[in-house]
């Protein structure tokens, strides 16, 4: 699904499927904008030639 094809009703269905049943219309509009921005960022990344080994490994260590 392309971001420009995403509608508020589809976002509402996605939110309900994720258990977010108490969102207002303003919240849904914010979620729609955020989803469209995430799709745009993802489309701008050159991910076609990346392998799982290219994923950065974050290592967290607790100092004693």
pLDDT tens track for 5-50: 899 999 999 999 999 999 999 999 999 999 999 999 988 988 888 8
Note down the domain range covering 49. 3-54
CB proximity list for 32: less than 8 A, separation 6 or greater:
6, 8, 11
Question: Would you place residue 1 in the very low, low, confident or very high pLDDT band (cuts 50, 70, 90)?
Answer: low
In a domain, 59, yes or no: no
Rg (CA), the chain: 17
Question: Would you place residue 57 in the very low, low, confident or very high pLDDT band (cuts 50, 70, 90)?
Answer: confident
In a domain, 21, yes or no: yes
In a domain, 61, yes or no: no
Greater confidence (1 vs 22) lies with 22
d(CA 22, CA 2): 26
In a domain, 64, yes or no: no
Give how many domains the chain has, as a whole number: 1
In a domain, 39, yes or no: yes
pTM across the whole model: 0.68
């Amino acid at each position: 699904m392309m971001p420009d094809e995403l509608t508020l009703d589809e976002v509402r269905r996605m939110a309900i499927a994720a258990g977010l049943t108490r969102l207002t219309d303003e919240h849904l509009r914010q979620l729609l904008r955020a989803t469209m921005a995430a799709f745009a960022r993802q489309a701008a990344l050159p991910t076609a030639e990346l392998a799982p080994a290219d994923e950065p490994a974050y290592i967290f260590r607790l100092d004693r």
